[in-house]
Structure 1
Amino acid sequence: MTDIELPDNPLELARLRDRVTQKLAAAPLSGLSDRELLAASEVNERSNRRGVGVDARLFAEVSQRGAYRLAGSQMPGKYLEGQLRLSARARKQHTDAALSLSSLVAFSGEPLDPTLPATATAVADGDLSLDHVAEIVDVIDAIPAGIPADVKGRAEAELAEVARTLTPEQTRTAGKRILAHLDPDGELTDDTDRARSRGVTLAPQDRRLMSAISAKLTPAARAKLEALLVLWAAPGMNNPDDEQSPSGSSANVDPDALAAAAERDTRSQSQRNHDALEAMWTFLIANGGLGEGTSLSSQLVVTASLDDLESRSGVATTATGTRLPVKDLVEIAGDATPWLEVFATASAQVLYLGRGKRLASRAQRLALFGRDRGCTAPGCTVPWSRTQAHHMPDWQDGGPTDIDHLGGACGGHNRSVSTTPGGWETTILQSGPFTGRVGWRPTGSNEPWKVNHALQPEKILPTFGDRVTESGSAVEKWLSCRIPAPPPGPPVPPGTDVVRYPA
């Protein structure tokens, strides 16, 4: 194959690469021999891995110039999430790669070498993938601060070299061995290292509305948690399936009652830990853990659609973005349940309270929650509890504090609204499938208005038949005195908890 003259302009090269990829995707593979097919696969993978370095350079340049602002993003990471639609994991990997593989520029204007030079070379050679880079970054970050810089540099070079022949998982194993060699007894790890790696992460809810928690606890935090679990997660304590189960700490419970409850307890230790934590949180909330004051973000506030309430089914949404079955609403909402009725029976008069004031009234904030669920900027996932009431037009430009001129916006997006290029402009859409929603687009552009689907994906999903109805739940009794019940369905066999479609 003869050499092809390539353009020098990076944008033209990127477009050429895109065209080549499209051509390759449509090319018939049947004419290749087995060896040629394997060779094509290996060359393509090498190209993809070299692209990791290209991605890192591009993102580093976008970040250093602040070019992400032209796309309406306030932070480089938000550009990856909002414009390139990367996952949280991919966003972190791309950010780490840009910081580790790229030649950045210091504030003084002096060019800086990549922080992981050997890894950057291996990526440029097409030997390491983004997952390899992520594993190497994690290992290097875990090296104690007390290790000399030259030793840390040799560790990175050795790990990058062996990673050329290993999978990402094998690279992680090799990295653990390097860490064990550098600090075999853990004596070099100090409070600074532990504080740097501490954290608790709450993963998004899955399709069953369950949430995974991952954590790295400091020794002090673990000791406190274990002391609480010994008392709150003891067999028989805080069992939601046993009405006679003692609640709170076992230190304050009659020993005979606890022993009897323990005999009835069939939960695993993991389940007892879960129930103990929930009981602690319930106790904390009931005893003022959310604070006093009038801030809505310090209260439990829940919204649910009228259809879901009337059918005794579906999912409600809390102010922090958590989704919970409607049947659980009464049990967790407590004092917040009156706010639920705002969305079931609110009139225009209620929604227009507070006209002429810069700060939105509580009723208006609640109405915004019911409509917006959180920040309305496209792709933003900030829940309602961390948003502000955004005026359209801005308050200083004469924007009234009326519900049809307000929308939810996080602090960053609220400040990004501007009449100059590089900002956002907003409006309440007056027509189309998203009438009444807040539309966003770059200031001064002719782009179509965009709404935020991240917090309300159900708005763009098709309807999949009738909803199921759960009979006999506590919420039905609570709702029966507020909302007329639907026509009764078929008779339920005695002693049977039936889940059926509405009649």
Structure 2
Amino acid sequence: MESGDPGSAWQVQMGRHVGALPAVAAPVDDPRVCALLAQLASAVEGIAELDASTLTSEDRLALVCGAENTRRLLTGASHTWLNGLVAGSGFDSVLGAIGASGVPHALAHMLRITTAAAASRLAVARDLGTGTTMTGEALDPPLPHTASAARDGALAEAHVSIIRSFLKKLPHAVDAETRDSAEQTLADLARTVGPEELTAIATRLTEYLDPDGAEPDDRDRARKRFFELDPQGPDSMTTGRFCADPELRAVLEALFAKFAAPGTLTPEGAPAAVDLDAPAPTDARDQEAEWDHRTPGQRNHDALTYLLKDSLSSGRHGQHRGVPLSVIVSVSLEQLTAAAGLGLTATGSTIPVAEVVRRAAEAHHYLRVFDGASGSTLHFARARRCASTDQRLALFARDRGCTGPGCTAPASRCEAHHVDDWAAGGLTDIDDLALACDVHHPLVGERTGQWATSIAPPGHPYPGTVLWHPPAVIDEGRHGIPNHLNFPERHLAPPPDD
């Protein structure tokens, strides 16, 4: 990078950490908006400064109810504001400033909420906010009755969630007029009843509209299918939710019938010393089953693990982003020696190092340890453009994920990016490469408005870290910004002051 000082990132302090991405300020052009926001802020500050100890219980109740009603009114109005921003490309300035992967990411950055919460707000806004056509004509909300109640401040988020969920679960056989009538009924009742009672009413209304349980069609089944994993817990265990279509259930049942039978797999998850292809249970399997005290659910879990590992190790699935499809775990040499701690996978999850060591004995591709004695070629200079498998694995361990500011994309969703562009003479050496996701990778270039990247030099609080330099239109100094999200330990041990 020629423009901007690659080492100047630590000159910009944002909070406790170096190079943190600042929030994008929203300038106010309309004096009416400016005045109203100032009045709102002043009123809220005045209420917050009240000495509650001097108020009667009635006054405190009035404050609680009034504040809730005001919050609901603002939420109801915000649906149309969000729709207008999306339709008018109002998030473009934020997307460009932070290299966001989409509107939910931009909204999450502005409001400092999770991307999932931002996506949920946008989805509700699409249902309850007004819109405009290509010719500027007004469009009513898809759920007009719920939207009206929300604008009146009569609904809590739970009310809206119940009504939206009810309508999504109605089968396609229910006609549009009946749907509209049902929505109006629930929206009107939600003005006076709580979420618990509204849930019971919605359940009963479903029974009225579909008393015999109309046979769902392929569209209903396709709409309902999903498989989701929750974030890992402190113990590295994961819960999740799914809704399997008939085909997936049939496949799972066939596999579980064989591989989840008692005594089929050992406690370590390997095939037991029995003939799995025998037409009937053998004496050996009966003897094996005597020690198998796993529950049916545990046997299903172990069978699925065995089958997926077997598929992964078969080599039939080729490569993913230049690396053979496999479980890749990064661990330090100290962790490996002690067989303790947690390794980080290329997909962003964690796994106990002791488990990594045990599995590494079964499949050589499972573990990658990087040090100076590996013997792998990590420096190609100009001899080749594309990073090698060894280089990609090394980047997985070093960068952990996308190096773009604020990006949460794991290593498995990233490309090997030339810090100095290949077309401008960049080298395909490990010290000149970085991980970048499909969103951040195209942001870098020599044209006006594009980002640049560099490696933090010695003396920087994080030497060797990839820095992203925003275009001058965002930051005239083009100060380098690291991605701290992949290294949460930095927040616990901030760099020393210069």
Q: Say yes or no: TM over 0.5.
A: yes
**Residue 386 and residue 89 in structure 1: after superposition, are their counterparts in 2 closer, same or farther (change >3 A)?**
closer
Matched residue, 2:246: 219
CA contact (8 A) 1:68 1:76 kept: yes
Is 1:200 matched with 2:227?
Answer: yes
SS at match of 2:53: coil
d(CA) in 1 for partners of 2:290, 2:416? 53
Is 1:340 matched with 2:368?
Answer: yes
Is 1:373 matched with 2:400?
Answer: yes
| Residue correspondence of structure 1 range 52-201 to structure 2 within 5 A | 52-71=75-94, 72-187=99-214, 189-201=216-228
Counterpart amino acid of residue 451 in structure 1? P
**How far is 1:166 from its partner?**
3.7
SS at match of 1:196: helix
**How far is 1:76 from its partner?**
0.9
Once the two structures are superposed, residues 64-103 of structure 1 have per-residue CA deviations (whole angstroms, 9 ceiling, x without a partner) of 2223232232311121334433225423320211111111
| Residue correspondence of structure 1 range 298-317 to structure 2 within 5 A | 298-317=325-344
Runs of 5+ unmatched residues, structure 1: 1-6, 464-503
d(CA) in 1 for partners of 2:346, 2:148? 47
**How far is 1:267 from its partner?**
1.7
Counterpart amino acid of residue 259 in structure 2? W
d(CA) in 2 for partners of 1:24, 1:170? 32
**Residue 242 and residue 79 in structure 1: after superposition, are their counterparts in 2 closer, same or farther (change >3 A)?**
closer
**How far is 1:211 from its partner?**
0.9
CA contact (8 A) 2:318 2:324 kept: no
Runs of 5+ unmatched residues, structure 2: 1-29
Matched residue, 1:259: 286
Is 1:35 matched with 2:58?
Answer: yes
SS at match of 1:439: strand
Once the two structures are superposed, residues 4-55 of structure 1 have per-residue CA deviations (whole angstroms, 9 ceiling, x without a partner) of xxx9633553455345444444432111100111110011111222232243
Once the two structures are superposed, residues 443-478 of structure 1 have per-residue CA deviations (whole angstroms, 9 ceiling, x without a partner) of 212275433233332332249xxxxxxxxxxxxxxx
Mean Cα deviation higher: 253-262 or 292-301: 292-301
Matched residue, 1:454: 485
**Residue 244 and residue 66 in structure 1: after superposition, are their counterparts in 2 closer, same or farther (change >3 A)?**
closer
d(CA) in 1 for partners of 2:367, 2:271? 32
d(CA) in 2 for partners of 1:257, 1:450? 62
**How far is 1:379 from its partner?**
2.8
**How far is 1:230 from its partner?**
2.4
Counterpart amino acid of residue 490 in structure 2? K
**Residue 14 and residue 288 in structure 1: after superposition, are their counterparts in 2 closer, same or farther (change >3 A)?**
farther
RMSD: 3.0
**How far is 1:366 from its partner?**
1.8
**Residue 433 and residue 227 in structure 1: after superposition, are their counterparts in 2 closer, same or farther (change >3 A)?**
same
SS at match of 2:177: helix
Matched residue, 1:382: 409
Matched residue, 1:326: 353
SS at match of 2:368: helix
**How far is 1:278 from its partner?**
1.0
SS at match of 1:214: strand
Mean Cα deviation higher: 266-275 or 437-446: 437-446
Greater relative contact order, per chain length (Cα 8 Å cut-off, separation 6+): 2
Mean Cα deviation higher: 328-337 or 271-280: 328-337
SS at match of 2:435: strand
CA contact (8 A) 1:205 1:211 kept: yes
Give the TM-score taking structure 2 as reference length.
0.82
Query: How many residue pairs were aligned?
Result: 456
Matched residue, 1:44: 67
Matched residue, 1:474: none
| Residue correspondence of structure 1 range 414-433 to structure 2 within 5 A | 414-418=441-445, 424-430=451-457, 431-433=459-461
**How far is 1:147 from its partner?**
2.0
CA contact (8 A) 1:420 1:443 kept: no
**How far is 1:125 from its partner?**
1.6
Is 1:443 matched with 2:466?
Answer: no
d(CA) in 2 for partners of 1:293, 1:118? 48
Counterpart amino acid of residue 231 in structure 2? P
**How far is 1:344 from its partner?**
6.6
CA contact (8 A) 2:456 2:463 kept: yes
**How far is 1:341 from its partner?**
2.8
**Residue 269 and residue 392 in structure 1: after superposition, are their counterparts in 2 closer, same or farther (change >3 A)?**
same
Matched residue, 1:295: 322
d(CA) in 2 for partners of 1:168, 1:207? 32
Matched residue, 2:26: none
d(CA) in 2 for partners of 1:278, 1:154? 48
Matching residue within 245, 262, 275 for 1:235? 262
**How far is 1:328 from its partner?**
0.8
d(CA) in 2 for partners of 1:370, 1:264? 40
**How far is 1:217 from its partner?**
0.9
Is 1:392 matched with 2:419?
Answer: yes
SS at match of 2:228: strand
d(CA) in 1 for partners of 2:330, 2:275? 30
Percent identity between matched residues is 34
